[in-house]
Protein backbone atom coordinates (compact mmCIF):
# COMPACT_ATOMS: atom_id res chain seq x y z
CA UNK A 1 0.00 0.00 0.00
CA UNK A 2 2.80 2.39 0.89
CA UNK A 3 4.41 1.78 -2.48
CA UNK A 4 1.12 2.50 -4.21
CA UNK A 5 0.48 5.66 -2.22
CA UNK A 6 3.91 7.23 -2.34
CA UNK A 7 3.72 8.50 -5.98
CA UNK A 8 0.34 10.00 -5.11
CA UNK A 9 1.78 11.73 -2.07
CA UNK A 10 4.68 13.10 -4.07
CA UNK A 11 2.30 14.45 -6.74
CA UNK A 12 0.14 16.04 -4.08
CA UNK A 13 3.17 17.64 -2.47
CA UNK A 14 4.37 19.01 -5.80
CA UNK A 15 0.95 20.42 -6.60
CA UNK A 16 0.91 22.63 -3.49
CA UNK A 17 2.61 25.93 -4.37
CA UNK A 18 5.33 27.03 -1.99
CA UNK A 19 4.11 29.86 0.19
CA UNK A 20 6.21 32.77 1.37
CA UNK A 21 6.36 34.10 4.88
CA UNK A 22 4.44 37.31 5.44
CA UNK A 23 5.94 39.50 6.88
CA UNK A 24 8.76 38.58 4.51
CA UNK A 25 11.54 38.93 7.08
CA UNK A 26 10.84 37.26 10.39
CA UNK A 27 14.24 37.62 12.09
CA UNK A 28 14.55 41.39 12.49
CA UNK A 29 12.22 44.36 12.23
CA UNK A 30 12.24 45.98 8.80
CA UNK A 31 10.47 49.06 7.44
CA UNK A 32 10.00 51.25 4.38
CA UNK A 33 10.22 48.75 1.51
CA UNK A 34 11.53 49.66 -1.94
CA UNK A 35 11.59 46.94 -4.59
CA UNK A 36 13.66 46.72 -7.77
CA UNK A 37 13.41 44.04 -10.45
CA UNK A 38 16.76 43.33 -12.07
CA UNK A 39 18.08 40.33 -14.05
CA UNK A 40 15.38 37.92 -12.93
CA UNK A 41 15.39 38.81 -9.25
CA UNK A 42 13.43 41.13 -7.00
CA UNK A 43 15.72 43.19 -4.79
CA UNK A 44 14.08 44.47 -1.65
CA UNK A 45 15.65 47.49 0.07
CA UNK A 46 14.47 48.17 3.61
CA UNK A 47 15.21 50.16 6.70
CA UNK A 48 15.91 48.43 10.00
CA UNK A 49 13.91 49.24 13.13
CA UNK A 50 16.20 48.24 15.98
CA UNK A 51 14.88 46.02 18.76
CA UNK A 52 13.39 48.20 21.46
CA UNK A 53 13.12 51.19 19.12
CA UNK A 54 10.91 53.86 20.61
CA UNK A 55 11.18 56.67 18.09
CA UNK A 56 12.47 55.37 14.76
CA UNK A 57 15.81 54.09 16.02
CA UNK A 58 17.23 53.39 12.57
CA UNK A 59 20.94 53.36 11.71
CA UNK A 60 21.27 51.13 8.67
CA UNK A 61 19.58 49.80 5.56
CA UNK A 62 19.26 46.16 4.49
CA UNK A 63 18.97 44.31 1.17
CA UNK A 64 17.16 41.07 0.43
CA UNK A 65 16.47 39.34 -2.88
CA UNK A 66 14.37 36.58 -4.35
CA UNK A 67 13.97 34.81 -7.69
CA UNK A 68 10.57 33.36 -6.82
CA UNK A 69 8.97 35.67 -4.22
CA UNK A 70 9.05 32.74 -1.79
CA UNK A 71 12.69 32.17 -0.86
CA UNK A 72 14.53 35.34 0.17
CA UNK A 73 18.31 35.77 0.42
CA UNK A 74 19.67 38.11 3.10
CA UNK A 75 22.35 40.38 1.62
CA UNK A 76 23.07 42.06 4.92
CA UNK A 77 23.77 45.74 5.46
CA UNK A 78 25.50 47.30 2.45
CA UNK A 79 24.85 50.83 3.67
CA UNK A 80 24.51 52.60 7.00
CA UNK A 81 24.70 56.09 8.47
CA UNK A 82 28.51 56.00 8.37
CA UNK A 83 28.29 55.78 4.56
CA UNK A 84 27.35 59.47 4.69
CA UNK A 85 30.04 61.38 6.61
CA UNK A 86 27.72 64.38 6.84
CA UNK A 87 24.84 62.44 8.46
CA UNK A 88 24.33 61.44 12.08
CA UNK A 89 20.84 59.87 12.44
CA UNK A 90 17.61 58.70 10.85
CA UNK A 91 18.33 56.02 8.24
CA UNK A 92 14.80 56.38 6.89
CA UNK A 93 12.89 55.43 3.77
CA UNK A 94 14.97 55.12 0.60
CA UNK A 95 14.70 53.65 -2.87
CA UNK A 96 17.10 52.18 -5.43
CA UNK A 97 17.08 52.46 -9.23
CA UNK A 98 19.33 51.03 -11.92
CA UNK A 99 20.87 52.99 -14.78
CA UNK A 100 23.80 52.32 -17.10
CA UNK A 101 25.38 49.58 -15.02
CA UNK A 102 25.05 51.39 -11.69
CA UNK A 103 22.58 51.21 -8.82
CA UNK A 104 21.60 54.49 -7.17
CA UNK A 105 20.15 54.37 -3.66
CA UNK A 106 18.43 57.57 -2.53
CA UNK A 107 17.88 57.94 1.21
CA UNK A 108 16.75 60.54 3.74
CA UNK A 109 19.07 61.11 6.69
CA UNK A 110 19.61 63.80 9.30
CA UNK A 111 22.51 66.13 8.56
CA UNK A 112 24.98 66.72 11.38
CA UNK A 113 23.65 69.76 13.19
CA UNK A 114 20.86 70.17 10.69
CA UNK A 115 17.59 68.92 9.34
CA UNK A 116 16.68 66.04 7.11
CA UNK A 117 18.35 65.82 3.72
CA UNK A 118 18.52 63.36 0.84
CA UNK A 119 21.73 61.57 -0.02
CA UNK A 120 22.53 59.30 -2.94
CA UNK A 121 24.84 56.30 -2.83
CA UNK A 122 26.08 54.27 -5.78
CA UNK A 123 27.24 50.72 -6.44
CA UNK A 124 27.90 48.52 -9.46
CA UNK A 125 26.00 45.72 -7.69
CA UNK A 126 22.39 45.72 -6.45
CA UNK A 127 23.66 44.35 -3.15
CA UNK A 128 26.47 46.85 -2.72
CA UNK A 129 28.64 47.87 -1.07
CA UNK A 130 27.34 51.36 -1.70
CA UNK A 131 29.43 54.54 -1.41
CA UNK A 132 28.28 58.11 -1.00
CA UNK A 133 28.18 59.45 -4.57
CA UNK A 134 28.57 63.12 -3.65
CA UNK A 135 30.03 63.51 -0.16
CA UNK A 136 27.19 65.94 0.55
CA UNK A 137 23.40 65.91 0.28
CA UNK A 138 21.80 65.80 -3.15
CA UNK A 139 18.85 67.81 -1.83
CA UNK A 140 18.54 69.44 1.58
CA UNK A 141 15.19 71.05 2.30
CA UNK A 142 14.26 69.28 5.52
CA UNK A 143 11.95 66.79 3.81
CA UNK A 144 12.10 63.01 3.36
CA UNK A 145 11.24 59.83 1.45
CA UNK A 146 12.96 60.12 -1.96
CA UNK A 147 11.78 58.10 -4.94
CA UNK A 148 13.44 58.15 -8.38
CA UNK A 149 11.59 57.32 -11.59
CA UNK A 150 13.11 57.07 -15.09
CA UNK A 151 10.61 57.78 -17.84
CA UNK A 152 10.61 55.96 -21.19
CA UNK A 153 12.37 58.90 -22.86
CA UNK A 154 15.26 58.64 -20.38
CA UNK A 155 14.34 61.70 -18.31
CA UNK A 156 14.65 60.84 -14.63
CA UNK A 157 12.77 62.49 -11.79
CA UNK A 158 13.28 62.52 -8.06
CA UNK A 159 10.12 62.85 -5.96
CA UNK A 160 10.09 63.31 -2.22
CA UNK A 161 8.45 65.15 0.64
CA UNK A 162 6.63 65.46 3.92
CA UNK A 163 4.73 67.75 4.44
CA UNK A 164 5.05 68.92 0.82
CA UNK A 165 5.49 66.90 -2.37
CA UNK A 166 8.46 67.87 -4.51
CA UNK A 167 10.12 66.79 -7.71
CA UNK A 168 13.28 67.71 -9.57
CA UNK A 169 14.59 66.57 -12.97
CA UNK A 170 17.64 64.38 -12.45
CA UNK A 171 20.44 64.48 -14.99
CA UNK A 172 21.48 61.28 -16.76
CA UNK A 173 24.27 60.80 -14.19
CA UNK A 174 21.49 60.37 -11.57
CA UNK A 175 23.52 62.28 -8.98
CA UNK A 176 22.86 65.84 -10.13
CA UNK A 177 19.83 67.70 -11.40
CA UNK A 178 18.75 70.48 -13.72
CA UNK A 179 16.44 73.28 -12.73
CA UNK A 180 15.21 73.81 -9.23
CA UNK A 181 13.10 71.70 -6.93
CA UNK A 182 9.43 72.17 -7.74
CA UNK A 183 6.46 71.72 -5.43
CA UNK A 184 3.63 69.62 -6.81
CA UNK A 185 0.40 71.47 -5.95
CA UNK A 186 -1.37 69.53 -3.22
CA UNK A 187 -4.94 70.09 -4.37
CA UNK A 188 -7.86 68.05 -3.09
CA UNK A 189 -8.64 67.05 -6.69
CA UNK A 190 -5.15 65.66 -6.95
CA UNK A 191 -4.64 64.12 -3.53
CA UNK A 192 -8.01 63.78 -1.81
CA UNK A 193 -9.49 65.62 1.14
CA UNK A 194 -8.18 65.36 4.69
CA UNK A 195 -10.45 66.46 7.48
CA UNK A 196 -9.58 67.93 10.86
CA UNK A 197 -6.20 69.42 9.92
CA UNK A 198 -6.54 72.81 8.23
CA UNK A 199 -2.78 73.07 7.72
CA UNK A 200 -2.85 69.87 5.62
CA UNK A 201 -6.02 69.88 3.53
CA UNK A 202 -5.12 66.91 1.32
CA UNK A 203 -4.48 63.26 2.14
CA UNK A 204 -0.86 63.31 0.94
CA UNK A 205 1.47 62.64 3.86
CA UNK A 206 4.73 61.08 2.59
CA UNK A 207 6.34 58.14 0.73
CA UNK A 208 5.59 58.82 -2.97
CA UNK A 209 6.07 55.78 -5.27
CA UNK A 210 5.79 56.90 -8.89
CA UNK A 211 5.69 54.57 -11.90
CA UNK A 212 4.17 54.27 -15.35
CA UNK A 213 1.85 51.53 -16.59
CA UNK A 214 0.13 51.41 -19.98
CA UNK A 215 0.90 55.09 -20.55
CA UNK A 216 -0.59 56.21 -17.22
CA UNK A 217 1.53 57.62 -14.37
CA UNK A 218 0.73 56.36 -10.87
CA UNK A 219 1.70 58.06 -7.61
CA UNK A 220 1.06 55.74 -4.67
CA UNK A 221 1.63 57.39 -1.29
CA UNK A 222 1.12 57.22 2.46
CA UNK A 223 -2.04 59.16 3.28
CA UNK A 224 -3.30 61.05 6.31
CA UNK A 225 -1.30 60.70 9.46
CA UNK A 226 -1.67 59.15 11.99
CA UNK A 227 -2.40 56.41 11.41
CA UNK A 228 -1.67 56.25 7.72
CA UNK A 229 -3.35 54.39 4.91
CA UNK A 230 -2.11 53.97 1.34
CA UNK A 231 -3.77 55.91 -1.46
CA UNK A 232 -2.97 56.81 -5.04
CA UNK A 233 -3.35 59.39 -7.77
CA UNK A 234 -2.78 59.16 -11.51
CA UNK A 235 -1.69 61.59 -14.22
CA UNK A 236 -1.02 61.64 -17.93
CA UNK A 237 2.49 63.03 -17.34
CA UNK A 238 5.21 62.54 -14.72
CA UNK A 239 4.68 65.97 -13.16
CA UNK A 240 0.88 65.89 -13.12
CA UNK A 241 -1.64 67.30 -12.90
CA UNK A 242 -2.61 64.45 -10.58
CA UNK A 243 -6.10 63.08 -10.05
CA UNK A 244 -6.94 61.37 -6.78
CA UNK A 245 -8.04 57.74 -7.30
CA UNK A 246 -8.69 56.39 -3.82
CA UNK A 247 -7.46 53.84 -1.32
CA UNK A 248 -4.96 51.10 -2.07
CA UNK A 249 -4.56 49.69 1.45
CA UNK A 250 -6.86 50.75 4.31
CA UNK A 251 -5.57 51.43 7.81
CA UNK A 252 -4.82 48.03 9.30
CA UNK A 253 -2.52 46.57 11.90
CA UNK A 254 -0.54 48.20 14.68
CA UNK A 255 1.92 50.44 12.82
CA UNK A 256 0.84 54.08 12.59
CA UNK A 257 2.89 54.48 9.39
CA UNK A 258 2.73 52.54 6.17
CA UNK A 259 4.94 52.75 3.11
CA UNK A 260 4.22 51.51 -0.45
CA UNK A 261 6.28 49.94 -3.23
CA UNK A 262 4.85 48.34 -6.37
CA UNK A 263 6.58 46.21 -9.01
CA UNK A 264 5.67 43.69 -11.68
CA UNK A 265 7.67 40.46 -11.63
CA UNK A 266 7.27 37.25 -13.65
CA UNK A 267 3.81 38.25 -14.84
CA UNK A 268 2.42 39.24 -11.45
CA UNK A 269 2.01 42.59 -9.67
CA UNK A 270 3.19 42.96 -6.09
CA UNK A 271 2.40 45.55 -3.44
CA UNK A 272 5.00 45.86 -0.67
CA UNK A 273 4.19 47.69 2.56
CA UNK A 274 4.97 47.49 6.27
CA UNK A 275 3.01 46.69 9.40
CA UNK A 276 3.55 45.67 13.01
CA UNK A 277 2.73 41.99 12.55
CA UNK A 278 5.77 40.31 14.15
CA UNK A 279 5.72 39.56 17.89
CA UNK A 280 6.63 42.79 19.68
CA UNK A 281 5.72 44.71 16.55
CA UNK A 282 4.24 48.19 16.45
CA UNK A 283 4.83 51.71 15.19
CA UNK A 284 8.58 51.64 15.77
CA UNK A 285 9.10 47.88 15.33
CA UNK A 286 7.73 47.32 11.86
CA UNK A 287 7.90 44.52 9.32
CA UNK A 288 7.89 44.55 5.55
CA UNK A 289 5.19 42.44 3.93
CA UNK A 290 3.87 41.89 0.41
CA UNK A 291 0.60 41.10 -1.35
CA UNK A 292 0.15 39.89 -4.93
CA UNK A 293 -2.62 41.76 -6.72
CA UNK A 294 -4.26 42.20 -10.11
CA UNK A 295 -5.05 45.58 -11.63
CA UNK A 296 -8.67 46.11 -12.54
CA UNK A 297 -9.38 45.99 -16.28
CA UNK A 298 -9.58 49.80 -16.41
CA UNK A 299 -6.13 50.17 -14.81
CA UNK A 300 -7.31 51.10 -11.35
CA UNK A 301 -5.71 49.46 -8.32
CA UNK A 302 -7.98 47.21 -6.24
CA UNK A 303 -8.21 47.60 -2.48
CA UNK A 304 -5.49 45.39 -0.99
CA UNK A 305 -5.68 44.03 2.56
CA UNK A 306 -2.83 42.96 4.81
CA UNK A 307 -2.33 39.23 5.26
CA UNK A 308 0.00 37.15 7.38
CA UNK A 309 1.29 33.69 6.63
* Nearest to ligand FUB of 234, 275 (CB atom): 275
Calpha distance 70→119 (Å, rounded): 32
Is residue 206 within the footprint of ligand FUB (CB under 6 A)? Answer: yes
Calpha distance 200→15 (Å, rounded): 51
Please check whether residue 77 is in contact with residue 58, taking contact to mean a CB–CB distance below 8 angstroms.
Answer: no
Is residue 29 within the footprint of ligand FUB (CB under 6 A)? Answer: no
CB 225 to ligand FUB: min, Å = 9
- DSSP3 helix / strand / coil % (the chain, rounded to 5): 5, 45, 50
Binding mask 97-116 for ligand FUB (x = CB under 6 A): -----------x--------
Q: Which helix (H) or strand (E) holds 5?
A: helix 2-15
Closest CA to 121 of 174, 43, 162: 174
Is residue 56 within the footprint of ligand FUB (CB under 6 A)? Answer: yes
**Which sign does the torsion angle of CA 282, 288, 294, 297 carry?**
positive
Is residue 219 within the footprint of ligand FUB (CB under 6 A)? Answer: no
Please check whether residue 29 is in contact with residue 278, taking contact to mean a CB–CB distance below 8 angstroms.
Answer: yes
DSSP state of 231: E
* Furthest C-alpha separation in the chain: 76
Q: Which of 47, 119, 161, 208 binds ligand FUB (CB under 6 A)?
A: 47
* Nearest to ligand FUB of 100, 197 (CB atom): 197
Residues near 78 by beta carbon (within 8 Å), at least 6 away in sequence? 61, 63, 123, 127, 128, 129, 130
Residues 248-267 that bind ligand FUB (CB under 6 A): 257, 259
Is residue 132 within the footprint of ligand FUB (CB under 6 A)? Answer: no
CB 92 to ligand FUB: min, Å = 3
∠ Cα 165 171 175 (to 5°) = 80
Number of residues that bind ligand FUB (CB under 6 A): 14
Is residue 87 within the footprint of ligand FUB (CB under 6 A)? Answer: no
Is residue 224 within the footprint of ligand FUB (CB under 6 A)? Answer: no
Is residue 94 within the footprint of ligand FUB (CB under 6 A)? Answer: no
Is residue 159 within the footprint of ligand FUB (CB under 6 A)? Answer: no
Q: Which of 145, 160, 177, 289 binds ligand FUB (CB under 6 A)?
A: 145
Is residue 92 within the footprint of ligand FUB (CB under 6 A)? Answer: yes
Footprint of ligand FUB (CB under 6 A): 31-32, 47, 56, 92-93, 108, 144-145, 206-207, 222, 257, 259
Amino acid sequence: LAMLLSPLLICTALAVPAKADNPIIQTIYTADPAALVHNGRVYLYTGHDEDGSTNFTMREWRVWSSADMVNWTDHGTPMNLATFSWADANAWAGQTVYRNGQFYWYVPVRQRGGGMAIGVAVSSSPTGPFRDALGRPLVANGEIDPHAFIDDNGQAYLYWGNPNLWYVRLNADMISYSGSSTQIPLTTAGFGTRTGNPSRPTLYEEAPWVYKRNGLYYNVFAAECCSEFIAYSTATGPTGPWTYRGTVMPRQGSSFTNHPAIVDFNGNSYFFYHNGALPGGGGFTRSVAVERFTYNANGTIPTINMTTA
